[in-house]
Amino acid sequence: MEAADIGNVHLNAPTNEKIVITCGLELGVQHEGRLAKIVRAQCGLKGSGQEWRSCLAKVLLDDEDLGFRMCKADNDVWYRPALKPDGTECYECILVYTDDILDIGHHDFALCYS
């Protein structure tokens, strides 16, 4: 089992909202007062949480090497069939809550660190 917290989670997802800002001094004197279009989801925007979830779902569903499927009962539970080293069939699961991820499965760390 492994757990992770994804930092700056919203900055990983593109946004569908059309947002334009006026740049301030924090972006440099040469950009101050210019208009900028926001292309990534930002914390606090109406659809940012959904944009991040859609981005993660696209990666987990579209990557054939990963092979994860979404649970029908809970869209934030992902699973895929796996085999333990002794040949026993099992499932590996990823549980997602906002920006926290829990990976549950059989992991042979000796293979990872050798």
For residue 25, give the amino acid letter: L
- Note the pLDDT tens digit of each residue in 18-56: 888 899 888 888 988 999 888 776 766 777 777 888 888
Number of domains in the chain: 1
- Note the pLDDT tens digit of each residue in 11-25: 777 777 788 889 988
How far is 38 from 98, CA to CA, in rounded Å?
21
How far is 63 from 110, CA to CA, in rounded Å?
26
How far is 91 from 48, CA to CA, in rounded Å?
30
Between CA 25 and CA 29, with CA 27 as vertex, the angle to 5 degrees is 55
Q: Is the pLDDT of residue 112 over 60?
A: no
* Close Cβ partners of 28 (under 8 Å, ≥ 6 residues apart): none
> Based on the number of CB atoms within 10 Å of its own CB, is 16 exposed (0-12), middle (13-18) or buried (19 or more)?
exposed
> 0.75 exceeded by the pTM?
no
Range of the domain at 62: 2-113
**In the predicted model, what is the mean pLDDT of the chain?**
81
